Amino acid sequence: MKAYKKILKWITIIKLGTISLVVLVIFSTIGGLVSTNKKSSSSDTDFSAINISPEVEMYRSAVKKEAEANGIPETVDVLLALIMQESGGRHADLMQCSESQGWPPNTITDPYESIKIGVKYFAGNYLLAREKATKNKIETALQAYNYGNGFASWSIDREGGWTQENAIQFAKEKSGGRQRSNGEYAYGDQKYVEHVMRYAQPSNGSNGGTSIQPGGNKVIENAIKFSNELVGKTTYVYGGGRNQNDINRGVFDCSSYIHYVYTKAGIDMGELSSVTTHTLATKFKTIPTEQMKRGDLVFFDTDGRNGHIGIYLGERQFFNCETSKGVAIASLDNPYWSGVFNGLVVRVTE
């Protein structure tokens, strides 16, 4: 009898152990799914600012403070891009948010008050989109900033979030079908997301150096080597990098960075004080896009024609100097960069 009870005891222990193991596996699986969902969600909201003017960049710390206060610290660069679209830093009501309070345009005369009110208004729509939208969270919040609060919930209920098509449909409904002379509906900016995204790009989550196999041109490899050395040590400032003091501090913009590394590698890049993407676009030989190779300069229509420049590395990657990261590697397969790459390729040296 004692032996029988002992056997029953061990059977019970084994059963409990098996159940515990199954429960552990289930919770581990659920945890993995939750983690995966969080990762995919965050990738929908990860943007870096580009082509931000000094007049707007100077307010980065204030924007960061208000973004953190409203629980949306990941949107600082998007908010700077929004300010570029709204005022370019040229008006005291930086975020053009007076009307959101029921006041006449430009009633707000304190830039910091504008940031406080504007970020809070954006946060209301973004937090809704972050929780409920199944796609285009940032875009949903941006369009709602322009259209008003009703758009966010409307687009989420309709299609899970912003699309260009539903932005147009919303304007059509709100305008009663009335159109402007340019054919757009007479309600808000139907291309507001596109306009803001001239100053922001999806982040590829990496700003490390290149591991692509080097080529045989010593000048090009030196320029790329110098670029690698700048990763994590530079700051983007529009118009920066055109004097030795800036260079010593690691301050560049996209064209002065190119000038610096290629000059250091032994190429005459022209006058430093006047270098721009446009001077570099015409200084060297233009190459057909399909013949693009390591070391060539590639151009992008970010803020107008040839507004941004990079050094092609191979495997569709390129070095560039970005607003939020300084010198970093980006990919032509990134939807943003593939959308603004204009096909202009310039060969600095053979």
Residues designated as active site = 254, 308, 320
Distance CA 124, CA 177 (A): 28
Buried b (16+ CB within 10 A) or exposed e, 212-237: eeeeebeebebbbbbbbebbeebbbb
Which among 67, 208, 78 is positioned nearest to 136, based on CA atoms? 78
CB 194 within 8 A of CB 167: no
Residue with tokens 């340019």: 182
Name the E strands within the chain: 47-49, 200-202, 235-236, 251-252, 285-287, 297-300, 308-314, 317-322, 326-331, 341-347
CA distance 264 to 4: 86
In angstroms, rounded to a whole number, what is the distance separating the alpha carbons of residues 187 and 229?
Answer: 49
Identify the sign of the CA torsion 84, 87, 89, 93.
negative
- CA–CA separation, 224 vs 318, rounded Å? 10
Closest CA to 144 of 202, 89, 78: 78
Per DSSP, what are the bridge partners of residue 286? 346
Residues 6+ apart with CB under 8 A from 25: none
Asked whether the beta carbons of 299 and 348 are under 8 A apart, the reply is: no
Q: How many other CB atoms are there within 10 angstroms of residue 207's CB atom?
A: 17
Token pair for 102: 């029921």
